[in-house]
Amino acid sequence: MSGDVVRPHFSSFRRRFSARQTVVGSFIKTPTTHATEIFGALGYDFVVIDEEHAPIDRAMTDVMLLAARASNLAGIVRVSSDDPAKILSCLDCGATGVLVPHVATVEKARAVAATARYRGGRRGYSGSARAGAYGGTPMWSLVDEQDASVCAIAMIEDPEALDQIDGIAAVDGIHGFFIGRGDLTVALGAKSSADASVKDAVIRIIAAAKKAAKPVCVMVASAAEAKDFAGLGASAFIISSDQGQMRRAAAQTLTDFKTLV
């Protein structure tokens, strides 16, 4: 991390997220460790390794999570589905949490919560993976440590989820929500995420989360947009992605070059 400010340990992410402290991250879509290290060095709080919309497999996720830990960065994985085997593999590799797409029913929310925890849940046990220090953590210490720190975040991105949003928000073991404005925009047939139908959905989701005393995460394009969402009640922000930020910087550099040369 640059500067003199000491960032909290990555294992405190769930506590900080649940307390609705402001946390900032970015999607990682390029299957390398380098972007993760860069975001960690800059002082971001977390990254979301994108298995759903990027060519990232379990082996690559494993080393990217290693890079996150080495950079004192919370490594969240957006899994490609709510398949318990996918969630388990990420948690065994040492993910700080999972971002699970299309959590549209109370039943699915309960299943996700159960998959992500041992006590009161159905997470498969193994002490031999990175999460268990390769056999170095006693069984019940590992159970308690993981259950206290693993963060399960539900993506709300389907219109049908809005009909059950209060029930979904109340599910024990779901620690927060990510509002998938892109999917909502497409599913609602809106022209853009600025349309009234999408804005109404966002307000309903945030209201349900607030009622359940749980945090909300949104993807934003700028600090100005983040400020608007913070005013509504969001506290966690994903700023673009490694690819998006690289494209924006590269485009600006090329524009500057053509202007000067």
Q: Would you please indicate which residues are annotated as catalytic (active-site) residues?
A: 53
Identify whether the C-beta of residue 116 lies closer than 8 Å to the C-beta of residue 123. Answer: yes
Torsion over CA: 46, 86, 175, 134 (sign): negative
Compute the half-sphere exposure of residue 138: CA atoms within 13 Å on the CB side of its CA: 3
Give the bridge partners for 50, in sequence order: 78
Amino acid at 93: C
**Burial grade of 132 (CB within 10 A; 0-12, 13-18, 19 or more):** buried
Instruction: For residues 250 and 81, give the distance between their C-alpha atoms in angstroms, rounded to a whole number.
Output: 32
Instruction: For residues 105 and 186, give the distance between their C-alpha atoms in angstroms, rounded to a whole number.
Output: 19
* Long-range contacts formed by 184-193: CB under 8 A, 24+ apart: 184/157, 184/158, 184/159, 187/157, 187/158, 187/159, 188/159
Residue 218 burial (CB count, 10 A) = 23
Instruction: For residues 139 and 131, give the distance between their C-alpha atoms in angstroms, rounded to a whole number.
Output: 11
Alpha-carbon dihedral 213, 217, 220, 223, rounded to 10 degrees = 60
